[in-house]
Amino acid sequence: GGEAAALARLKHYLWDGDHLGTYFETRNGMLGADYSSKLAPWLAHGCISPRLIAAECGRYERERVKNKSTYWLVFELIWRDFFKLYCAKHGTSVFKAGGPIGSAQRWRKDPTLLRRWKEGTTGVPLVDANMRELAATGFMSNRGRQNVASYLALDLQLDWRDGADHFESLLLDYDVCSNWGNWAAAAGMTGGRVNRFNLVKQSKDYDADGAYVRHWLPELANVPTDKVHEPWKMSKDEMERSGCRVGNYGDASCDYPTPPKSHFVYGEKGGGGGGGRGGGRGRGGGGRSVAATPAQAAIMNRGKGGGGRSGGRGGGRKRVQMDYMMD
Ligand code: FAD
């Protein structure tokens, strides 16, 4: 910990390892030390300033390379600023069930389901692997955080504040504004675009060979790759051969649980990682990509290098742009 360790990490990430130049391509990773900067814990504790990181990124652009990756790390730091301003504006409403938009949505309270989510025994490998990583290390990738939050709030429809509270108790990089702001956004409580992720699709896109889920879920070690993200689809024979019997949660003769009965889990109605749900303001369907705030609009426009109104109807180019931001 401390400033010395923060500076050493910055030096490693930018200069010794030269990872900044490929950040855009690696930032959605989940396994390993260098797919992202991992500077968040030091930022959260005030051991390093975002200005120093931004200044070093500028120097890297001058001395090594200037590309989309070097732009993107600073862009992510701006999200951090954004959530600080967002919370300053909305005050304690970010801690309330209806969030800053004052949604009347009712959230489920189901202690068993919540426990399964926390301990990583939901039966959805991507969720379980991420939750076990969090419990073991105090860290979870941004990709993982978005998926487990979407699963808790939008699929299981459990009170999103229980998820935020759990993150608060475990994250090494816990930051009031980044945590509660991102959770409120994930639950659709900010009025902005909502990403309801299709967990199976996300798993195949970001963990194609199953290395990540196998790393954290040893019970899936020998499950064939085409079933590792959907182990409930294994035949009896395959379960036998892979030494992984999938069955009811709590059944001691089983190695891994089947997911709770929810059609969302299986992806039939999932949004493919992109389908918006119309967050809180009653917009349904294909997800509207609009800037939630003028600040967000400014950020979106920065990426386009132009002025004009950002946002627009989902499904087209504008939507892709929001995907870059939130995915
Ligand atoms: P990098 O990808 O290297 O990004 C560099 C820095 O940019 C990060 O260190 C962070 O300061 C900032 N940043 C990146 N993404 C975001 C974002 N979406 N929102 C705000 N800042 C961002 N981040 C925290 O620092 N503390 C939290 O408590 C926290 N809770 C989160 C909860 C949820 C539900 C979600 C979806 C995201 C949360 N994040 C939080 C944001 C993000 O996941 C982490 O900042 C990031 O994964 C930390 O890893 P890194 O330092 O390697 O990030």
The H-or-E segment that residue 117 falls in is helix 111-119
The H-or-E segment that residue 180 falls in is helix 176-186
Catalytic residue flag (residue 183): yes
Which residues make beta-bridge pairs with 314? none
Per-residue pLDDT at 304 exceeds 70: no
Pocket lining: 145 vs ligand 1, CB cutoff 6 Å: yes
Among protein residues, the one with the nearest Cα to ligand 1's atom 38 is 179
Are 162 and 114 a contacting pair, CB within 8 Å? yes
Give percent above pLDDT 70 in the chain: 80
Mean pLDDT value across residues 178-187: 98
* Mean predicted lDDT score pLDDT of the chain: 85
Residue 312, SS3 per DSSP: strand
Of the listed 133, 183, 195, 230, which one is catalytic? Answer: 183
- Separation of alpha carbons 69 and 35, rounded Å: 12
Per-residue pLDDT at 271 exceeds 50: no
Q: Which residue has the higher pLDDT, 264 or 309?
A: 264
Mean pLDDT value across residues 62-67: 98
**pLDDT tens readout for residues 121-157:** 999 999 999 999 999 999 999 999 999 999 999 999 9
Identify the residue whose tokens are 């024979």: 237
Give the pLDDT score at 274. Answer: 34
Among 73, 75, 142, 189, which residue has the most ligand 1 atoms within 8 Å of its CB, making it the best to mutate? Answer: 142
Q: Which residue has the higher pLDDT, 169 or 325?
A: 169
Q: Which of 195, 196, 326, 207 is nearest to 270 (CA)?
A: 196
Catalytic residue flag (residue 107): yes
Distances (CA, A) of 294 to 25, 82, 256, 318: 28, 11, 46, 16
Among protein residues, the one with the nearest Cα to ligand 1's atom 43 is 142
Give the pLDDT score at 1. Answer: 86
Distance 182 CA to ligand 1 centre (A): 9
Mean pLDDT value across residues 231-258: 97
Q: Which of 134, 91, 140, 124 is nearest to 230 (CA)?
A: 124
Structure confidence at residue 107 as a pLDDT band (50, 70, 90)? very high
Structure confidence at residue 261 as a pLDDT band (50, 70, 90)? confident
Of the listed 42, 72, 117, 160, which one is catalytic? Answer: 160
Pocket lining: 36 vs ligand 1, CB cutoff 6 Å: yes
Among 26, 80, 196, 206, which residue has the most ligand 1 atoms within 8 Å of its CB, making it the best to mutate? Answer: 80
- Separation of alpha carbons 150 and 194, rounded Å: 9
Of the listed 42, 79, 180, 216, which one is catalytic? Answer: 79
Per-residue pLDDT at 25 exceeds 70: yes
Structure confidence at residue 262 as a pLDDT band (50, 70, 90)? low
Per-residue pLDDT at 268 exceeds 50: no
Give the pLDDT score at 316. Answer: 35
Give the pLDDT score at 300. Answer: 35
Among protein residues, the one with the nearest Cα to ligand 1's atom 2 is 36
